[in-house]
Amino acid sequence: NAGVTQTPKFRVLKTGQSMTLLCAQDMNHEYMYWYRQDPGMGLRLIHYSVGEGTTAKGEVPDGYNVSRLKKQNFLLGLESAAPSQTSVYFCASGGQSLHGYTFGSGTRLTVV
Amino acid sequence: AQSVAQPEDQVNVAEGNPLTVKCTYSVSGNPYLFWYVQYPNRGLQFLLKYITGDNLVKGSYGFEAEFNKSQTSFHLKKPSALVSDSALYFCAVRDLGAGSYQLTFGKGTKLSVIP
């Protein structure tokens, strides 16, 4: 099925560990986004990309890095995990045709 | 800068009654507006969008939304609520006029439909 796939779905990290979340889309979308969802905070934009090889900071970029080496993939990295990064992370993609944005099913990350 | 406000954290409505979930936005140019729904432990699902044209937009599952430029609002409505409509609803905006690529979300409104 076409859509946005996020891996892994769940992860528990120790403080200071690093990890990479992968987002893959097969809709040939130009735009890709990483959000975090926290209770009472809604969805906050971490980083986004408007095309292969481009990235930009969103509202809450500190402690995260991203890369978009291939159009279909958007990677989110945590360099040194902190408990404040415990959250549910969502990836989304969208095309220039403005038909809408498609979301992945999320990654639930716990940092202990 | 673009922003979205959902003034109600929670909305309760009886099954069969009409429902409204409120959203106001702020942009410098023309808005591109969305409503999404999230069921427990799931991702966000697209309901409807407004780009231009008719101010009343119809979407999935019988939902509709009314764009009001003078009030900068985009309220979500449904004539007759179902228990299965209970979920978290998000309004989102992208400022097309400002050339923004960012999609900004409100904090969400929890809708509870009471049998």
Q: Mean pLDDT of all residues in chain A?
A: 93
Residue A40: what pLDDT?
83
Q: Return d(Cα A45, Cα B44) in angstroms, integer.
A: 14
Which pLDDT band holds residue A55 (cuts at 50, 70, 90)? Answer: very high
Pairing of strands B10-14, B109-114: parallel
User: pLDDT tens across A2-13, in order?
Assistant: 699 999 999 999
Which pLDDT band holds residue A99 (cuts at 50, 70, 90)? Answer: low
Residue A108: what pLDDT?
95
* C-beta atoms of B51 and A98 within 8 A: yes
Residue A98: what pLDDT?
65
Cα-Cα end-to-end distance for chain A: 35
- Asked if the bond preceding B115 is cis, omega within 30° of 0, the reply is no
Chain B residues in contact with A94 by the CB 8 A cut-off are: 103
**Measured between CA atoms, how close is A81 to chain B, in angstroms?**
23
Chain B residues in contact with A40 by the CB 8 A cut-off are: 9, 107
For residue A31, pLDDT over 70 is answered with yes
Q: Which residue has the tokens 């859509």?
A: A3
Q: Return d(Cα B61, Cα B58) in angstroms, integer.
A: 9
* Average pLDDT estimate for A51-66: 94
Beta bridge partners, A92, equal A33, A103
Chain A residues in contact with B49 by the CB 8 A cut-off are: 98, 100
For residue A96, pLDDT over 80 is answered with no
Residue A95: what pLDDT?
78
* C-beta atoms of A48 and B43 within 8 A: no
Residue B28: what pLDDT?
87
The greatest distance separating any two alpha carbons of chain B, rounded to the nearest whole angstrom, comes to 45
Tell me the one-letter amino acid at A12. Answer: V
Residues of chain B scoring pLDDT < 70: 98-99
* C-beta atoms of B107 and A33 within 8 A: no
For residue A17, pLDDT over 80 is answered with yes
